[in-house]
């Protein structure tokens, strides 16, 4: 099933607080189910570029979970309010309309697609970037692919989505380890500390690392994996106006020179295909 041409109006099913973030759900009546790692371009029907002002462009948001629902597919998005667009999305109310285009972009590859000798997956997420790893984790679990999940947060407020996306039966999923900068849960420090320890293990080279999070974290993951000869896929972010290859805004430097368009060549990119992940 191909992606419907253009944007379509969807209804907000639910919007709930999760730590300092929001998780909202849309009912998509027309699109195909998304693959893990894909994203949608989203804009509220009202209060978006009408009388001028911002937000004006749609926002690219990775899907955190998708499930068949009555009349279509339920799509869950984890959002942190960091500007006028995400702020408006955080305020969405049930029954409101949202313009949606997608699912767009590529998706994660299975460990064996990346490396025929790979035995399992290590998922490394940080902050709001845990979203695409949730749907990817479920996909891997359903296929019986061994995995470990390492998640990092600044503090409790920035661990939104953890309870809804990585917990089951009243507690953290058994394959999940936490790192927090303030030490309120798990290892005190960075999630990349946990990854570094794991990569020094004997069987590390038989794993494929999948990561999404802030640019500085992605760069640390990319560099660590390169150092240990472990393949990795990074779900990246870049300023994007259109999501379908039209605007050329989301340029990311390739390791072999020139730029890729993250919307059509990503958002999931092999670690060795990108130059250093730019971060402030």
Partner 1 sequence: MPDFCGIQLAHPVINASGTYDAIAARRVFGDALLEDFPFSAFVSKTITPEPRAGNEPRRIWETPAGMINSIGLPNKGLEDFLTEDLPQLAELPVPLIVSVMATNREAFGRLVAAVEACDEVAAIELNVSCPNVHSGLIVGEQPSETEALLEVLRPLTEKPLIVKLTPNVAAPEAVAVAAESGGADAVSLINTLKASAVDPPGRAPALAAGHGGLSGPAVRPIALQQLRAVTAVTEIPAIGMGGISSGADAAEFLALGASLVAVGTESFRDPRAGLRIANELETEVSEGSARL
Q: Which residues bind partner 1 (CB under 8 A)?
A: 2-7, 43, 49, 52-58, 85, 99, 101, 104, 238-242, 244-253, 257-259, 261, 264, 278, 280
Tokens matching residue 209: 């690392």
Dihedral angle sign, alpha carbons of residues 164, 156, 58, 212: negative
Q: How far is the CB of 88 from partner 1 (least distance, A)?
A: 13
Backbone angles phi, psi at 240, to 5 degrees: -140, 125
Question: Rounded to whole angstroms, what are the CA distances from 236 to 73, 172, 184?
Answer: 25, 26, 27
Backbone angles phi, psi at 68, to 5 degrees: -60, 140
Tokens matching residue 54: 């911002």
| Of 101 and 191, CB closest to partner 1 | 101
Q: How far is the CB of 106 from partner 1 (least distance, A)?
A: 11
Q: How far is the CB of 277 from partner 1 (least distance, A)?
A: 12
| Of 146 and 249, CB closest to partner 1 | 249
- d(Cα 191, Cα 179) in Å, to the nearest integer? 5
Tokens matching residue 107: 């998706």
| Of 1 and 168, CB closest to partner 1 | 1
Q: What separation, in Å, do the N-terminal and C-terminal C-alpha atoms of the chain show?
A: 40
| Of 71 and 239, CB closest to partner 1 | 239
Q: How far is the CB of 40 from partner 1 (least distance, A)?
A: 12
8 A C-beta contact, residue 78 and residue 89: no
| Of 138 and 254, CB closest to partner 1 | 254
| Of 105 and 186, CB closest to partner 1 | 105
Q: How far is the CB of 236 from partner 1 (least distance, A)?
A: 12
| Of 43 and 118, CB closest to partner 1 | 43
Q: How far is the CB of 29 from partner 1 (least distance, A)?
A: 17
Tokens matching residue 235: 């779900």
8 A C-beta contact, residue 131 and residue 156: no
- d(Cα 272, Cα 258) in Å, to the nearest integer? 14
Q: How far is the CB of 59 from partner 1 (least distance, A)?
A: 10
- d(Cα 54, Cα 69) in Å, to the nearest integer? 33
């Amino acid at each position: 099933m191909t992606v419907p041409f253009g944007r379509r109006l969807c209804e907000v099913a639910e919007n709930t607080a999760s730590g300092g973030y929001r998780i909202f759900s849309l009912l998509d009546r027309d699109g195909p189910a998304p693959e893990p790692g894909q994203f949608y371009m989203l804009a509220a029907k009202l209060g978006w570029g009408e009388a001028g002002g911002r937000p004006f462009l749609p926002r690219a948001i990775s899907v955190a979970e998708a499930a068949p629902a009555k009349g279509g597919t339920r799509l869950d998005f984890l959002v942190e309010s960091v500007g006028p667009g995400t702020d408006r999305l955080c305020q969405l109310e049930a029954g409101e309309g949202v313009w949606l285009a997608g699912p767009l972009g590529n998706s994660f590859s299975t460990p064996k697609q990346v490396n025929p000798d790979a035995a399992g997956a290590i998922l490394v997420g940080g902050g709001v970037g845990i979203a695409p790893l949730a749907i990817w984790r479920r996909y891997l679990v359903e296929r019986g692919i061994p995995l470990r999940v390492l998640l990092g947060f600044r503090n409790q407020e920035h661990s939104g989505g953890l309870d809804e996306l990585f917990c089951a039966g009243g507690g953290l999923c058994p394959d999940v380890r936490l790192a927090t900068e303030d030490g309120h849960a798990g290892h005190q420090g960075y999630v990349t500390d946990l990854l570094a320890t794991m990569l020094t293990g004997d069987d590390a080279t038989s794993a494929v690392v999948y990561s999404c999070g802030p640019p500085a974290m992605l760069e640390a993951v990319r560099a660590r994996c390169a150092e240990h000869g472990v393949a990795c896929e990074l779900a990246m972010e870049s300023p994007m106006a259109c999501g379908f290859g039209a605007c050329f805004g989301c340029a990311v430097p390739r390791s072999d020179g020139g730029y890729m368009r993250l919307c059509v060549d990503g958002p999931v990119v092999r670690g060795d295909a990108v130059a250093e992940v730019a971060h402030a």
